[in-house]
Amino acid sequence: MELRINKNKAFDELTNWVFKLSSSISILVVVGIFIFLFKESLPFFKEMRPADLFLSAKWNPEGWSGEYYGILALVWGSLLVTVITLVISIPLGLMVAVFIAEIAPRNLKIFIKPVIELLAGIPSVVIGFFGLVFVGPLIAGIFHLANGLNALNGGLLLSIMVLPTIITLSEDAINGVPKDYREASFALGATKLETIFKVTLPAASSGILAAIMLGMGRAIGETMAVLMACGNAPALAKSIFDPVRTLTSTIAIEMGEVAYDTNHYYALFNLGLYLFLISFFINNIAEYFLKKGRRNA
């Protein structure tokens, strides 16, 4: 009996360590990603000046007249597509979240969650394909363009992809607002509409901001949809109808054909490093807002 208890204890101790070791994988991976991106992007600056990367809009790594690694046009491309995405998905996502949380009838509610989840589950390459064969021709037709592969197309597709994030998290934030707030508002004679816009939404604003930040992070980091729908011209776009090339799609297009450990290879890892840092930054701002929201509730 004594022996058995000891054996059990030893086994307990063992599992404890296995679990603890496993849990350290996440930290290892985050640190690993940072170190490897850094390691693979740093050699770029041995032969090239930082200005070659940061102060030019000309991206043409394997051109006739030399290598050009200016990332400004790519950053601008990512930014433009993200702004279009947010302009569409913030109002639409918020409206849907309010609809679900505040006014949807019960029998419709059961039906909504699977719809949003399924939308989130459609692979980005399928969304990109949809942009290529459907949204593109539609944009070209409406605005009389030669083709519809441009920033607007990417923004529309990304809106579809970002909506589930914004809707779900905003709905959580709205549901997190204590009932007393609404009841107090009604007691003061406010209508439902006034309560939603003047009481509930402001009270949920931290959580909503977090939702928007996380949606924005997804938009900047998304690859396949923008790769297939944006036209991929690495030049400064002047309007939403111009083709754009984003940071993500540049890596996707070029990394497959590049020779390892060349300037071009290092430059692409540089882009990856900045994407990682951006996502890290945005994600932690979102977390700050989430925590603030929880404290207030």
Show Cβ contacts of residue 42 under 8 Å, excluding neighbours closer than 6 positions. Answer: 266
- Give the side-chain half-sphere CA count within 13 A for 290: 15
Nearer to another protein, 96 or 204 (CB): 96
Which residues, 143 to 182, sit near another protein by CB under 8 A? 160, 163, 167
Q: Is 121 in the site for another protein (CB under 8 A)?
A: yes
- CB of 36: closest distance to another protein in angstroms? 4
Residue whose entry in the numeric block shows the structure tokens 């990603």: 33
Find the binder of another protein among 126, 137, 178, 183 (CB under 8 A): 126
- Give the side-chain half-sphere CA count within 13 A for 163: 24
Distances (CA, A) of 70 to 167, 210, 227, 268, 280: 36, 32, 19, 11, 23
Candidates 47-55, 66-74, 235-243, 270-278 — which segment interacts with another protein by CB under 8 A?
270-278
Candidates 11-19, 44-52, 175-183, 204-212 — which segment interacts with another protein by CB under 8 A?
11-19
List, in sequence order, the alpha helices (H) in 42-188: 44-47, 50-54, 72-98, 106-121, 124-130, 136-143, 151-175, 179-187
Candidates 57-65, 123-131, 178-186, 236-244 — which segment interacts with another protein by CB under 8 A?
123-131
Structure tokens at 165: 């994030």
Q: Is 6 in the site for another protein (CB under 8 A)?
A: no
Which residues, 275 to 294, sit near another protein by CB under 8 A? 275-276, 279-280, 282-284, 287
- Residues in the chain, total: 297
Q: Is 252 in the site for another protein (CB under 8 A)?
A: yes
Nearer to another protein, 51 or 274 (CB): 274
